[in-house]
Amino acid sequence: MSGRQGGRPTLEQVAARAGVGRGTVSRVINGSPRVSEQARRAVARAVAELGYVPNQAARALAGSRTDAIALVIPEAEARLFAEPYFLDLIRGVSAELADADRQLLLTLVRSEQERQRFEQYLAAQRVDGVLLASVHGDDPLPDRIRELGIPVVMNGRRSEAEPVPYVDTDNIGAGRAAVAHLVARGRDRIATVTGPLDMYVARARLGGYMAGLAEAGRIPDNSLVSAGDFTEEGGRRAMRGLLDRRPDLDAVFVASDVMAAGARGVLREAGRRVPHDVALVGVDDSPVARLMDPPLTSVRQPIEEMGRTMARMLLREIAGTPEEPRRRVLPTELVVRDSCRAVSGS
């Protein structure tokens, strides 16, 4: 469609064609208001005719901004949450960035060594900001990045009092809702399988479980709590422990759908019917939940929305107009399925 004669056209060429100066073209491209309507039109026309597209590298060099942001995901977690968690997150982030005409640099970090290398990237000024997923309790990276003066927003937090801006879901609310639901269905001895307790998300869900029991006037009992690790096998192990200690349990709040799948298998092997003998509630509302037999009641998190929110917050941070509050907690929602029908005959 256009005159491509030895490489792509430059600003200068557009300027020449439009009969204006380089500065004016730049102003038009960047939407500055201090340009006459006439000049604007002439430039727009030249741009179209030449098929001009600004060279990103030159822009970045001259303007010291890259229009790219990095999303950092620890590879180990990506494997763990095999469920579409990260894909949903990426989808949200990507959508928001696309709308803002920003690029998404995805960084799967496999090892501590690679994380070091990541700091090099930052130093190389490849990105304007960083989105950090799945941070563990004692992770120093968020602070390090901030020290470098680079805007960061995290997915989840490391502790209750997180200094770095973040977007999290209401994990406490998730636990409470699950327990409240089980209580309402007449369950008496409600156990829980937690995530790894070095992660805040796991502690928060456990906290919600406790709070839920308290609200129902029940006294929490340690023998009804068993720690998993967010894997299916971890779910199996925890469930076996629970069954050994408390064969009388009649409901379990499992802190992830994947663990719930493991727990469900153990229950089946132990001859317990779900939901007849034992009711089950998971967290994530992942495809697994729908496919389980019976389908699993689960607490849904707005993952894609988290991604969008994170990206939006980060863009504001980069723009220098941070959005308050810088800590967001999005609501969760209980999706009721067949895994916790009311106690029969009661």
Partner DNA sequence: CAACGACGTGGGAGCGCTCCCATCAGGGGG
Partner DNA sequence: CCCCCTGATGGGAGCGCTCCCACGTCGTTG
- Choose among DNA, its own copies, none what residue 219 binds, the Cβ cut-off being 5 to 8 Å by kind: none
- Choose among its own copies, DNA, none what residue 247 binds, the Cβ cut-off being 5 to 8 Å by kind: none
Q: For residues 28 and 179, which CB has a smaller minimum distance to its own copies in the complex?
A: 28
**Does residue 54 touch its own copies according to CB under 8 A?**
yes
**Does residue 53 touch its own copies according to CB under 8 A?**
yes
Stretch that binds its own copies, among 71-79, 150-158, 176-184, 189-197 (CB under 8 A): 71-79
**Does residue 2 touch DNA according to CB under 7 A?**
no
Task: Quote the least distance from Cβ 50 to DNA, whole Å.
Answer: 10
Q: For residues 301-330, which are near DNA according to CB under 7 A?
A: none
**Does residue 11 touch DNA according to CB under 7 A?**
yes
- Choose among its own copies, DNA, none what residue 78 binds, the Cβ cut-off being 5 to 8 Å by kind: its own copies
Q: For residues 119-158, which are near its own copies according to CB under 8 A?
A: 120-121, 123-126
Question: What 3 state SS string does the chain have?
Answer: CCCCCCCCCCHHHHHHHHCCCHHHHHHHHCCCCCCCHHHHHHHHHHHHHHCCCCCHHHHHHHHCCCCEEEEEEEHHHHHHCCCCHHHHHHHHHHHHHHHCCCEEEEEEECCHHHHHHHHHHHHCCCCCEEEEECCCCCCCHHHHHHHCCCCEEEECCCCCCCCCCEEEECHHHHHHHHHHHHHHCCCCCEEEEECCCCCHHHHHHHHHHHHHHHHCCCCCCHHHEEECCCCHHHHHHHHHHHHHHCCCCCEEEECCHHHHHHHHHHHHHCCCCCCCCCEEEEECCCHHHHHCCCCCEEEECCHHHHHHHHHHHHHHHHHCCCCCCCEEEECCEEECCHHHCCCCCC
**Does residue 335 touch its own copies according to CB under 8 A?**
no
- Choose among DNA, its own copies, none what residue 24 binds, the Cβ cut-off being 5 to 8 Å by kind: DNA
**Does residue 280 touch DNA according to CB under 7 A?**
no
Site string for its own copies, 94-123 (x = CB under 8 A): xx--x----xxxxxx-x---x--x--xx-x
**Does residue 48 touch its own copies according to CB under 8 A?**
no
Contact 276, 61 (CB under 8 A): no
Q: For residues 272-331, which are near its own copies according to CB under 8 A?
A: 287-288, 291-293
Residues contacting residue 291 through CB under 8 Å, at least 6 positions apart: none
Beta strands 333-335 and 129-133: pairing type? unpaired
Instruction: Out of 32, 36, 55, 344, name the contact with its own copies by CB under 8 A.
Output: 55
Contact positions toward its own copies, by CB under 8 A? 8, 51, 53-58, 60-61, 64, 66, 68, 75, 78-79, 82-84, 86-87, 90-91, 94-95, 98, 103-108, 110, 114, 117, 120-121, 123-126, 261, 287-288, 291-293
Contact positions toward DNA, by CB under 7 A? 7-8, 10-12, 19-24, 26-27, 29-30, 33-36, 38-39, 52, 54-55, 58-59, 61-63
